[in-house]
Structure 1
Amino acid sequence: MSTTQPQHRSVIDAITAPRDSRVAFSVEFMPPRDDAAEQRMWDAASTFHDLGAAFASVTYGAGGTTRERTGRIARRLSQHPLTTLVHLTLVEHSAAQLESILKDYASLGLTNLLALRGDPPGDPLGEWVPTEGGLNYAIDLIRLTKSIEECRDFTIGVASFPEGHYRAENLEADTHWTLEKLRAGAEFSITQMFFDVEHFLRLRDRLAAADPVHGVKPVIPGLMPITSLRSARRQVELSGSSLPSSLERRLRSAKTDEHVRAVGIEVTSEMAERLIDEGVEDLHFMTMNFARATQEVLHNLGMAPKWQAAA
């Protein structure tokens, strides 16, 4: 790992800092489930640091050893040169536990927070039941964070949903609740993954039209490079988003797994190219703790050297 000193700067500063590349990019990691996967994640983190990632986010594991590993990774990330965005969810936490975690993040200098309700344990699309003594909505976590003296200067982000949250009555209701989180103190949002750029653009338009002050805060597109049709379908199922029929046909027409992967990288590159043309401030890649697919997309955009496997 690089010995460069950690950069305790805000996500907003990180994505708007002057750079040689066409646009900022950032990456998302998941809490690894074993030591080998954890080493792979740190290798990817080093690769993305060297490529100039604006920041890295780490999702929040709910329950058991995954949560414990999440905490340990957060501590190590606090010493990593990558600017870090930590996720926090309400799942299986009381308000007192959330306050303790937030104060711990503050003590480590981890002052970029993605405030999320989180998915119901066991079934991401199941019925949400708040923990006894806990909070019910992401906006409650924003308000809790702002009420803690040590955390008042946190830069807070939230999730946004290009196709609308699956529980929202309609797109207007989804826009309303996203804006409520931005008005409560969130400074940016990162979208759920999507595979149709039009959905992202319409989300951005809805927010700006509904609130010319808070609705124009950065909306960062969440992209997942497709490396297999099965994984794409699974992610769509878990997220409640959709896979356009034209894209599915394009992937199904591929003759081999490697061809599917090549099509997926090409599609993600095309999406990223259009998003850059539409003026996004950052491209956020959901990496699944691997570097190769994201670097291949960045290479297609002229933002990274060609991928070469380690010897």
Structure 2
Amino acid sequence: MRVIDQINSSKRTAFSYEILPPLKGTGIERLYKTIETLQEFEPKYINITTHRSEYVYTDLGNGMFQRQRLRRRPGTVAVAAAIQNKYDITVVPHILCSGFSREETEYVLLDLQFLGITDLLVLRGDKAKHESVFTAEKEGYKHAIELQEQINSFNKGIFVDGSEMKVTATPFSYGVACYPEKHEEAPNLDTDIYWLKKKVEAGAEYAVTQLFYDNRKFFEFVRKAREAGITIPIIPGIKPMKRIEQLNIIPKTFKVDIPEELATAIMKCKSDEDSRRVGIEWCIEQCKELIAYGVPSIHFYSVAAEDSIKEVAKVIY
């Protein structure tokens, strides 16, 4: 069953979460442990992130850096297949513009289709760490909508070179990202919503938000999206705050605000365990309010937070 069908048919607020493929040489057992930690809450699907390959640089100490090697994070496709096979659960690999050419994307789509994985989350992706602005790969895309167009053509049996497939299979279904506090590159929220609507018109069936801690901003975002004619499910993305240092790291990394009440509570904490408890309590109240509002699903970002998510889910599910 497609993700959108699972969301629409769920009798209660659906539960899902995102995981990160393991680093080279670390194995998949840690991921299995995360899945088994959260399995009791009957997740509708599991997202698997994709990270672009990046060059590793060595500081030469004279203001210069030397490029050493290309670092890759082992395969999202393989991890998705392993999880689907082991747990018989819908998996949703991320597919990116960032770091991929059109032909590379086509081969990813072929591999996924061979494996019977036909749900995707379509994203532009982040810029490379050494880039000041996002730069598309040669023969790649600058915008998620362009990637959607390739997937739509693939679904119709057309390859990127215009040739036709001899055999077609189950078409891909996909969601996209959205940003209650606007994407960092958008000049304003209205412009961001304009582009979300374009992604919906291009075929997105649902949207998952960037993480946030202020429900008022989510509610306002949804209101403006509905006024703009966007009718697809908008799924809140949530991550419990865990460590004191995240009070500075999260706003810088994800370009989101921390509500004053939460920031004050974290600043009073004497240890990371104290801040973890504050983060769990805040997340529980945040999720209760979202459920009362009527969100169809809550999507958790689980990296380094699965223990906190379990405590939250015990209360709200």
Q: Is TM (by shorter chain) over 0.5?
A: yes
Structure 1 Cα separation of the partners of residues 100 and 299 of structure 2: 27
Match of residue 10, structure 1, among 2, 5, 9: 2
1:184 corresponds in structure 2 to 202
Alignment CA distance shift 1:232-1:10 (3 Å): farther
Q: Once the 2 structures are TM-superposed, how far is the Cα of residue 100 of structure 1 from its aligned partner?
A: 1.2
2:219 corresponds in structure 1 to 201
1:144 corresponds in structure 2 to 150
Q: Once the 2 structures are TM-superposed, how far is the Cα of residue 81 of structure 1 from its aligned partner?
A: 1.4
1:209-220 to 2 correspondence within 5 Å?
Answer: 209-211=227-229, 215-220=230-235
Q: Once the 2 structures are TM-superposed, how far is the Cα of residue 49 of structure 1 from its aligned partner?
A: 2.9
Equivalent position amino acid for 2:182 in 1: G
In angstroms, what is the RMSD of aligned CA positions?
1.9
1:307 corresponds in structure 2 to none
Which stretch shifts more, 290-299 or 54-63? 290-299
Alignment CA distance shift 1:71-1:171 (3 Å): same
Structure 2 Cα separation of the partners of residues 134 and 168 of structure 1: 21
2:58 corresponds in structure 1 to none
Equivalent position amino acid for 1:45 in 2: I
Match of residue 76, structure 1, among 64, 82, 85: 82
Structure 1 Cα separation of the partners of residues 184 and 113 of structure 2: 32
Alignment CA distance shift 1:158-1:30 (3 Å): same
Contact 2:121 2:174 in 1 (8 A): yes
2:294 corresponds in structure 1 to 279
* 1:104 match: secondary structure: helix
TM-score by length of 1: 0.87
Answering whether residue 140 of structure 2 is matched by residue 134 of structure 1, we say yes
Q: Once the 2 structures are TM-superposed, how far is the Cα of residue 276 of structure 1 from its aligned partner?
A: 0.2
Contact 1:78 1:109 in 2 (8 A): no
1:56-67 to 2 correspondence within 5 Å?
Answer: 56-63=46-53, 66-67=72-73
Match of residue 252, structure 2, among 213, 237, 258: 237
2:61 corresponds in structure 1 to none
Gaps of 5+ in 1: 1-8, 304-311
* 2:74 match: secondary structure: helix
Equivalent position amino acid for 1:106 in 2: Q
* 1:68 match: secondary structure: coil
Structure 2 Cα separation of the partners of residues 67 and 99 of structure 1: 19
Contact 1:145 1:152 in 2 (8 A): no
Structure 2 Cα separation of the partners of residues 82 and 235 of structure 1: 30
Which stretch shifts more, 153-162 or 241-250? 241-250
Structure 2 Cα separation of the partners of residues 152 and 45 of structure 1: 27
Contact 2:122 2:147 in 1 (8 A): yes
Structure 2 Cα separation of the partners of residues 41 and 254 of structure 1: 30
Structure 2 Cα separation of the partners of residues 157 and 237 of structure 1: 26
Equivalent position amino acid for 1:138 in 2: A
Structure 1 Cα separation of the partners of residues 294 and 27 of structure 2: 35
* 1:280 match: secondary structure: coil
Structure 2 Cα separation of the partners of residues 291 and 241 of structure 1: 21
Answering whether residue 273 of structure 2 is matched by residue 266 of structure 1, we say no
Indicate the structure (1 or 2) with the bigger Cα radius of gyration: 2
Give per-residue Cα distances to partners, 1:261-291, cap 9 Å, x unaligned.
Answer: 1000000111000000000011100000553
Contact 1:146 1:152 in 2 (8 A): no
1:30 corresponds in structure 2 to 20
Gaps of 5+ in 2: 54-69, 158-167
Match of residue 107, structure 1, among 97, 104, 114: 114
TM-score by length of 2: 0.85
Equivalences, count: 288
Structure 2 Cα separation of the partners of residues 203 and 152 of structure 1: 33
Contact 1:225 1:265 in 2 (8 A): yes
Structure 2 Cα separation of the partners of residues 57 and 233 of structure 1: 26
Q: Once the 2 structures are TM-superposed, how far is the Cα of residue 236 of structure 1 from its aligned partner?
A: 2.5
Structure 2 Cα separation of the partners of residues 73 and 128 of structure 1: 27
Structure 1 Cα separation of the partners of residues 30 and 214 of structure 2: 30
* 1:169 match: secondary structure: coil
Give per-residue Cα distances to partners, 1:73-131, cap 9 Å, x unaligned.
Answer: 1231331312111101112211111111112111111111111010011168x301111
1:4 corresponds in structure 2 to none
* 1:167 match: secondary structure: coil
2:236 corresponds in structure 1 to 221
Give per-residue Cα distances to partners, 1:199-242, cap 9 Å, x unaligned.
Answer: 1111111111111xxx1200010001111121353232111112
Greater strand fraction, Structure 1 or Structure 2: 2
Structure 1 Cα separation of the partners of residues 271 and 92 of structure 2: 37
